[in-house]
Amino acid sequence: MKWFWRTLQALLALFVLLLLVATGGFFYSVHYIKTLPVEDPETPLTSWINSTEPVSPVAAPWEIAARQHQYAPLDIAQFIRPPLRFGPWTRWWWPGNLVTTDELQREMRLFAGVGIAGVEIQPFAISVSETDRDSVRWQQAGWDSPEFYEHLASVMMEARELGMGVDLNNGSGWPTGGPQVALEDGLRQLLHSERIVHGPSRVEFELSAPAMPAATFGAGALGMLGDIPMQTFVPDARKLVAVVAGRVTNNERSWQPWDFLDQVTLAPESLRVITDAVSDNRLVWDVPPGEWAITTLWQLPGGELIAGGYAHPKPGYVVDHLDARRMRANQDYLFREATGLSPYFGNPLRAFFNDSLEFRQERHWARGQLDEFENRAGYDPRPWLAALLEPGKDQMLFHAVNIRTAPEYALGDQGTRFLEDWDKVISDLFRERYFQTLKDWGAQRGLAHRLQAYGGPSDIIRAAGESDIPETEQLYAGGSEMFMKAVSSGAHIAKKPLVSAESFIFLGRAFMTTPVKIKALADKAFSAGVNQLIYHGTAYRIEGSAARGYPVVDGWYPWQLGLLSTDYSENWSYWEHAEQINRYIARCQYLLRKGEPDTDVLVLYPGLGFPQGYSNPAEPFDQGRFEGEEALTTDTADPAPGRGTKRMRSIWRETRSLEQQGLSWEWVNEHALSTATFDNGEIHAGGLRAGNLMLHDIDAVSPSVAEHIATLKKAGLPVRISGIAPHRQHGLLNSDEGDARVQHVFNDLPANISFISERTLFQHPQIKSVRRRLTDGGLIQFFSNPTAQATTLTLQLGPQYSQAVWLDAWEAKVTPIKTDNNGEVSIEIPAYGSIFLWMDTTQSIDFEPHSFEAVQTIPLENWSLQVAGADIQTAGALPGDWLLIPELRNSGGPGIYSTTFTAPADIEARREQGHDFELKLNQLFGAATVSLNGTQVGAALVPPYSVNLTAALKAGHNRLEVKLTPPRKNRLVSAIENSEPGWNAPDIVGTSARVSAGLVGPAQIIESAPTAH
């Protein structure tokens, strides 16, 4: 038995050692976070106010052009070949100041050459620390240097020459701030300490400082491990807010610091403020009978440092976004005279950009918070402050990984109502002190503010109207259409001409993005009301980057650790097809910026914010996942969705039912609804008009909005109530009276009613649609098919439209519409396909019609395939998905498919008669470039995967070659699994899921003859 005891002793010793290491690591991390050396700037932040000269507000050139286009007649020639300004933009990552003028200008010309209309410059650093000071990598930390602004000037001049636009990230990294921001100028947060006492008794004790929150420790430790300072914690800078006592009715407080669901229940009627019992930081209080929780509330600096790619040698605090004066001062510093940027304001410098509200605070706290709350909500918040306390409540890291939390104190329905009031006040403060302040600052200088106004308790819809160019994204909330529509609806209400989207970005899906995915994801954004796509993104090319320690596969690439993006640059496998893809996007954006939004149903938005961890597997392309793809470990499906996610999924099912009936919809918030009017059969809410209103699973509305809905209903507006009906008001003040007013309204309103549309009528289980109403009475409607199967769409056109055509943005084709006697028309939309319908009542639609019918099919068989030396012969159809072929499972290609066929002997005569010969590929994973008889004739990128062969076809024997470029993911995974030298391990792949690749048969050539008109 000696071996047993010796083994047990060894295991115990190992356990003790690990415990000591973990304990030591914990205390070292705490020490690191508390003592992080961040120096305050020599010049106070507020001294920079008005260091950039404001001018009289004028309409910026971009907005003038957008408005002119919006109301100008549709031009078929411009649709077919749209000007550069309608193309997508890209987020352009610079490695700080490790750039050269020659390379910057070369890349600008490269972008313009493939149809990219503008760039958002993001100076970005990857793990640069003091140890790099003597290396070339240190130049990454060169943002805000004179040399950096010289490089910016060279790009501005090149952009003018090319007719491109430029946006600037608001500083370096996000949220905005920098070395100009002192600790006192940074964000504030609310923390607490707690003591449980029993009465009747007298207690006397020193008020204890708040402990470091778990989220602060996590962020700070993460920064320490990554050598990127992320968080400081300065409890000595605390200021007392209040001391509150409440009688405990149930105490389930856990001793475990990682238990974020433990809770103490307090009797709401017992809450009292006992701050007057404090003197010299000591509390003396006579405790009533029972168990009581004494909560000391402190405000102190948030200590959040810019961590997102921050490219400066000195750590920089995030500026207080709830302080308008400091926000203005921050802007004046970032665009001060020394930057030399003012000559470019408006041309080509269009906007400054602020990313989403990614803050790392426990609870937001504004200067003057208590007075602001009382003035806005109408009552003293101090007795209820304990209701605010919840681990990581305003901490984006907690929400990003779906950490489940509960409030520290349960205060019943009254506590819930107080939280509604609190969140509304915080939302209004963000809107007024941040969004409006920066929009006004930019307007005085001819600059737009492009803004992602979400990520916290914000009225997303109203906030979208407080930026010049509201922006949504396809990463947040899994790229949900419900979320994207919240931003676009807010933009439409506020009559904004542009709605942008940070696009083609999903966690864990880098190196998997093919042209068909770009198109399908673009269509999803377009269907959600977006009309300006911004690639996320493009990395600057560093010569010899491998020798400088950057990944050898792609060179310098800022997301090598996070896998948040494909590098849409020359490194992208499909860059040779970028111009064709961008032409499609430009044609769509040309049309979707025409006229004004037109919809059938307004849906009341449920409250504030949007669940960040939201996912909905029933929604197309949830988190970027396509049909048949393997789920990833990085997918953020919430195993226990909260109320916000459950309600949003319920509303999605209801709106999906509307869409299947051919009805389009947009969100409306209470603020817009409160002033909406009903005229000529339509509700008008700002820039939105619709024929119907729906409330689904809305339990609370303000009494005045409820009564206004009743007024609109009486005027003739169809109102549908489904799911949970409103039965109470928001907020605490006069809640009994408010609840009664809400109940009085909705008890008298009918529930489910039928909605109708007088625009276009169709019913389809999958089709997505969005409409624009033209100023001349015409209509543009976009239809997209988000499935992997072709489908037929049948429409019944309204009798008021005398002329109608199909506009195919991928093929740049215009096709006349022929209806039957009932006014019906049908069209087949391919897998992941789309089509525009243009109907007009006045002007003549000029076009050259294109219409063909198939007359012959030539099957293609006996293929050979060569990939990296492997030669695969087949006796019939194509060999299929490479994932199923052992020799090709790990290949990065390209693969060359070849075959021969015999064409008709009278091919010349058929060509003269206008016959077309088109190659049809059944399915492909990647991109296919097609050559016939040694001549490249085109590319098959999206379904129906067809290429016209007519010009290169010859009578008799023909040789066909198809070069298939697969996604790079499988090759990278294989290299990492096999530890191949020269490949940068999990840095650049992260997940081991492979994807389909190759051509899947059958393949054929279809001869078509023109039909007579």
Report the b/e string of 919-936 with b at 16+ CB within 10 A. Answer: bbbebbbbbbbbbbeeee
For the cut 70, the answer to whether the pLDDT of residue 984 exceeds it is no
pTM (predicted TM-score): 0.94
Tokens of 916: 């077309």
For the cut 60, the answer to whether the pLDDT of residue 506 exceeds it is yes
H/E stretch holding 490: helix 481-493
Looking at residue 467, its amino acid is S
Reported as a single tens digit per residue, the pLDDT across 416-433 is 999 999 999 999 999 999
Ranges 482-491, 559-568, 924-933, 944-953: which has the least confidence: 559-568
Ranges 328-342, 377-391, 532-546, 662-676: which has the least confidence: 532-546
Confidence of residue 228 (pLDDT cuts 50, 70, 90): confident
Backbone angles phi, psi at 599, to 5 degrees: -145, 170
H/E stretch holding 386: none
CA atoms of 439 and 429, how far apart (whole Å): 14
Give the per-residue pLDDT at 33.
Answer: 63
For the cut 90, the answer to whether the pLDDT of residue 544 exceeds it is no
For the cut 80, the answer to whether the pLDDT of residue 822 exceeds it is no
- Mean pLDDT of the chain, nearest integer: 88
Report the b/e string of 442-466 with b at 16+ CB within 10 A. Answer: bbebbbbbbbbbbbbbbbbbbbbbb
For the cut 50, the answer to whether the pLDDT of residue 549 exceeds it is no
Give the per-residue pLDDT at 54.
Answer: 67
Which has more confidence, 229 or 681? 681
Percent of the chain whose predicted confidence (pLDDT) is above 90: 65
Burial of 37 (0-12, 13-18, 19+ CB in 10 A): exposed
CA atoms of 826 and 795, how far apart (whole Å): 6
Reported as a single tens digit per residue, the pLDDT across 436-472 is 999 999 999 999 999 999 988 889 999 999 999 999 9
Ranges 118-132, 355-369, 439-453: which has the least confidence: 118-132
**Are the CB atoms for 385 and 373 separated by under 8 Å?**
no
Strands 282-301 and 394-395: unpaired
Alpha-helical regions (H) of 805-943: 907-912
Give the per-residue pLDDT at 550.
Answer: 47
CA atoms of 3 and 452, how far apart (whole Å): 63
Q: Give the mean pLDDT of 402-406.
A: 83
Reported as a single tens digit per residue, the pLDDT across 144-169 is 999 999 999 999 999 999 999 999 99
